[in-house]
Chains A and B, each alone.
Chain A
Amino acid sequence: GIQVEQSPPDLILQEGANSTLRCNFSDSVNNLQWFHQNPWGQLINLFYIPSGTKQNGRLSATTVATERYSLLYISSSQTTDSGVYFCAVRGSARQLTFGSGTQLTVLP
């Protein structure tokens, strides 16, 4: 099956800093999503982005499908951005395959 690798596994930032999270995948995909799992365990949809670039406030994402990677940018980070960020992809199968996540901690 398709392999998904996320980096870095852990990231600690001061409030106000910017960061880039990366997701590499091993095969062509029909679907790519970024999720944020907050400290309460909720999985929040950030982006549905099989290709191209999208922006939502301080967050933006870019997927370069031909090179099999996606990037999630967080600008001016806030403590509420803390949590785990997951990348998930769907190839030929119907189910999403999740990466192991990036644990982000934003310090005040």
Chain B
Amino acid sequence: DAGVIQSPRHEVTEMGQEVTLRCKPISGHNSLFWYRQTMMRGLELLIYFNNNVPIDDSGMPEDRFSAKMPNASFSTLKIQPSEPRDSAVYFCASSRIARNTGELFFGEGSRLTVL
């Protein structure tokens, strides 16, 4: 079975450029999560979706960040304009949640470097 698939695996860009990260969750999962990992802050939840609907985006740092889930098999996280402090590893994860239970599975992450 395919796991959570993220692209690109690595992205190097210059400050001010738009960055789009992509995620395909595991088929049949109804919840999708975007996390960011840095040395300073560890793993932070940015936003999560349930049945393609954003439920909690309180972790999104600021208006430069946006996320969409147009269908059950695809999500994007966009940063526009990017800044050096956005450099981090961005993880997508998915789960089949029922009654607040359900195992979470992570993709391999997208390592973003903003120069």
Contacts and interface: CB of A to CB of B under 8 A. Distances in A.
B85 interface: no
Given A43-B91, A95-B33, A95-B56, A31 B102 contact: yes
B71 interface: no
A85 to B, nearest CB: 13
Interface stretch (A17-25, A63-71, A96-104): A96-104
A101 B91 CA distance: 17
A55 B42 CA distance: 28
Nearest to A88: B104
B104 A96 contact: yes
A42 interface: yes
B42 A92 contact: no
Contact of A94 (B55, B91, B108): B55
Contacts of A96: 33, 45, 104
Given A41-B89, A41-B109, A100-B42, A94 B104 contact: no
A33 B48 CA distance: 18
Interface string B93-106: 00001011111111
A87 to B, nearest CB: 11
A30 interface: yes
Contact of B42 (A30, A90, A94, A98): A98
Interface in A33-72: 33, 35, 41-43, 45, 48, 50
Interface in B71-115: 89, 91, 97, 99-106, 108-109, 111
B50 A31 contact: no
Contacts of A88: 104
B55 A33 contact: no
A33 B103 contact: yes
15 contacts: A30-B100, A41-B89, A42-B106, A42-B109, A43-B91, A45-B104, A90-B100, A92-B100, A94-B31, A94-B50, A94-B97, A95-B33, A95-B56, A98-B42, A101-B42
